[in-house]
Amino acid sequence: MEPNIKIRPFKIDDAAQVRDLFVRVNRLLAPPQMKQAFEDYIATSLKEEIDQISSYYSRKRGGFWVAVHSEKVVGMFGLEPSSTESMELRRMYVDPDARRRGIAREMLSFAEDECRRRNRRRMDLSTSELQNDALSLYRNSGYLLVREEVAIAASNKTLGGGIRRFHFTKPL
């Protein structure tokens, strides 16, 4: 990982940077024919989750962390229980200007360690067909594909719109 990157729990002072990172990355992912669907997804996710990170993840008995370099949020991720034995990795994003520096791999390792610390022996996650780098990272990190689906309905967890989603798991 790049020197001087620190992973720490989310603080309220991080809210604007986390919001900006979420919006920027999702707008970059949007295929031209799906720009409006992505804008709708962004709006829903901001309202239901991103703009209330502390209370959202507290209610879920999870947590949210940021990767910081020189006071700038360059990555983020959350964890929430998906069963009594597992946690689900959520919202793992790296600033496009900070990619290819090992930040995602370090956040993934941190998330796995956090699951172990919470006595959760499995981590679940999902990503879309639009996120090839994430698919490669998860496969190369020992995650097993457990199902694929075409997400039709939108929520704060998925865009819907016919995007293929890949669901992975890894025993810890």
What is the reported pLDDT for 156? 52
Average pLDDT over residues 120-149: 95
- Nearest residue to 172 via CA among 83, 86, 61, 65: 86
**Confidence check: pLDDT of 125 > 70:** yes
**Burial label, 77 (beta-carbon count in 10 A; 0-12, 13-18, 19+):** buried
Please report where in the chains the tokens 């639009």 appear, as a residue: 130
The answer to whether 123 touches 112, Cβ cutoff 8 Å, is: yes
What pLDDT does residue 162 have? 76
Q: Determine the Cα–Cα distance for residues 67 and 71; give it in Å rounded to an integer.
A: 9
The pTM of this model reads: 0.91
Distances (CA, A) of 56 to 45, 59, 155: 11, 5, 15
Q: How large is the average pLDDT for residues 76-105?
A: 96
In this prediction, residue 94 carries a pLDDT of 97
Distances (CA, A) of 6 to 77, 107, 115, 162: 13, 10, 19, 37
Please report the pLDDT score of residue 3 as a whole number.
62
Question: Half-sphere exposure of residue 118, counting CA atoms within 13 Å on the CB side?
Answer: 22
User: Strand runs (DSSP E) across the chain, as ranges?
Assistant: 5-9, 63-69, 72-81, 86-94, 122-128, 144-151, 163-171
- pLDDT > 90: what percent of the chain? 81
- pLDDT-derived band of residue 4, with 50, 70 and 90 as boundaries? confident
Q: What is the pLDDT of residues 15-64, one digit of tens each?
A: 999 999 999 999 999 999 989 989 999 999 999 999 999 999 999 999 99
Contact between 65 and 7 under an 8 Å Cβ cutoff? The reply is yes
pLDDT above 70 covers what percent of the chain? 92
Report the mean per-residue pLDDT for the chain: 92
Tracing tokens 């709708």 back to the chain, one arrives at 40
Predicted confidence at residue 147, as pLDDT, reads 95
pLDDT value at residue 163? 83
146 has a pLDDT exceeding 60 = yes
Q: How confident is the model at residue 157 (pLDDT cuts 50, 70, 90)?
A: low
